[in-house]
Structure 1
């Protein structure tokens, strides 16, 4: 586990680059900015580094990061933190950035802890605070009593009958991750087709996971805690499933929070950027899930590339003597 935790409020911080968001993209951006010779501060409203991965699925295997056939979320965060720490970035954890103001000294960011950060440029990499889970239409009274939206620790569900609801990558990932340890896993989706990666769909159908489509959760029953789930089709076919846990993996609703007040052009609830990853506001860039551009593909590996692209252009912006094209990292 990373040793970086919530940071005490500091009155003033001055750096070349402020990175907003300490998830994988932000951590890689911190490493790369250090490699390009910049001083860096990384601010995040969450109390630990790692963003959504560390907060919600630290034990889930990730398969699409270059160099790792499979890597657990927390291990990836730990490796990225170790890589970034080579350049000694300043971590401001538990500090949510609320405002960005242009001044003669640079961009001044204010946080909800009263910290003032002056930076030559800002790279916004988002964070878990930007997303709210979509709620299951029924069973809200069982929240934290069997109904959950995240599974930070897989072993908590060992030996249980688990119903996973959803048709995207997260739903199928949870079903596959829980299959080896749960007593039973049933995947319920309201459509016949899944939105998840084709390989994940193939793996689920080849596993012991019971797949029910097109079904929706009609009722959740239990005396104080979940004990069974009733699922139904639009034609009225009903199945009652034993369950001690329902994992509702229905996706997220974007909630940009303070970012909406920063004077940035938005598209699809994300920050619109150009080919250099610059936003509509001078000296403010974005990378990772929070950024949008033509041809956008939402992958962790793409976020790393976007962060590097932004940092290289920021380096030349802050010091015109620097080249946009970096040297090889092995020459550092």
Structure 2
């Protein structure tokens, strides 16, 4: 006996580059498709961790930035109009007669098949450990940057010394009034060429080796950042319009590991069809484990059509699934 719930053909768990392309390709097949993404925008790790980083391993591009890659993928994805649900995390799914019941942090939804494109799993920023930091979060204290334009003509402090922090500083410096990089060491972990490029920018300053000891609201409405020099009693108070903290991220596959799928090295084992140990569930991108698979965006992009075609063959075994974009678009436009 069938239930009366409305089912998606495919649910894509994860809205990073690989999940976005999987949704696009699924919609080329006219499949009813949804993306569920835990962050507040599409782009996954690329948007959150290295938007300004230059990428050299994306097919058809000699080089491109993470930001430009996500901009182009977003335009492509939106053109095919999958349903997109942001700031929503999949907690569990249960087999039903017609597919799967999916429980998220916000709702219950139904899908005939699922493609997991969750990257490294859920990840959270390592937060600033001062007592009153939560008071400024979402106002002048930022851990994610979804819209760089909000920092135009503002005096920004950016705390961190890794590639992601320096990438964000390079991205924001051309539009900010000033950018001050705060790091607890004189040396940076980031790529030397990126640090050198940042040092050449006239509106960029460096405060090293300093750590943030406290935050206060200044009379001017700005944020007062209290700094302490490493191995020294010297303290310094500096005013900024915004503070961006990039101390890295902690990732976890705890929820994914609770789904009962066969795992290897904290990733989901898949077949040549990208199918997991549970029929109807597929995995692509960095969350998928196959021996010898390189951890590249390009690898996941190639896996997306394989997973979509096999998932739709699972859902509709009597239908032939065309593979070429020309044939797909003729069908899509008509």
Measured after TM superposition, the shift of residue 28 of structure 1 is 1.0
* Equivalent residue, structure 1, for 2:249: 252
Structure 2 distance, partners of 1:203, 1:195, is: 15
Distance 1:303 1:165, change over 3 A: farther
Structure 2 distance, partners of 1:131, 1:203, is: 29
Measured after TM superposition, the shift of residue 189 of structure 1 is 3.3
For each residue in 1:290-314, what CA deviation from the matched residue of structure 2 results, as whole angstroms up to 9, or x when unmatched?
Answer: 4455566655444423323433443
The SS at the match of 1:203 is helix
For each residue in 1:149-201, what CA deviation from the matched residue of structure 2 results, as whole angstroms up to 9, or x when unmatched?
Answer: 12333343333332212233321122112212223222233456545456534
Structure-2-length-normalised TM-score: 0.72
Tell me, yes or no, if structure 1 residue 13 matches structure 2 residue 9.
no
Which has the higher mean CA deviation after the structures are superposed, 242-251 or 125-134? 125-134
RMSD across aligned positions (CA): 4.2
* Equivalent residue, structure 2, for 1:261: 258
Structure 2: segments with no counterpart, 5+ residues = 329-334
Distance 1:238 1:13, change over 3 A: farther
Tell me, yes or no, if structure 1 residue 157 matches structure 2 residue 154.
no
For each residue in 1:22-61, what CA deviation from the matched residue of structure 2 results, as whole angstroms up to 9, or x when unmatched?
Answer: 44322210222344x462421426697625489969xx55
Structure 1 distance, partners of 2:39, 2:187, is: 38
Structure 1 distance, partners of 2:129, 2:72, is: 34
Tell me, yes or no, if structure 1 residue 210 matches structure 2 residue 225.
no
Structure 1: segments with no counterpart, 5+ residues = 1-10
* Equivalent residue, structure 1, for 2:331: none
Tell me, yes or no, if structure 1 residue 31 matches structure 2 residue 27.
no
Contact persistence 2:99–2:110 (CA under 8 A): no
For each residue in 1:69-127, what CA deviation from the matched residue of structure 2 results, as whole angstroms up to 9, or x when unmatched?
Answer: 44547733531324433xxx4556676544322344333434555544141x3101238
The SS at the match of 1:254 is strand
The SS at the match of 1:175 is helix
Contact persistence 1:131–1:254 (CA under 8 A): yes
Tell me, yes or no, if structure 1 residue 189 matches structure 2 residue 189.
no
Structure-1-length-normalised TM-score: 0.72
* Equivalent residue, structure 2, for 1:283: 280
Distance 1:182 1:296, change over 3 A: farther
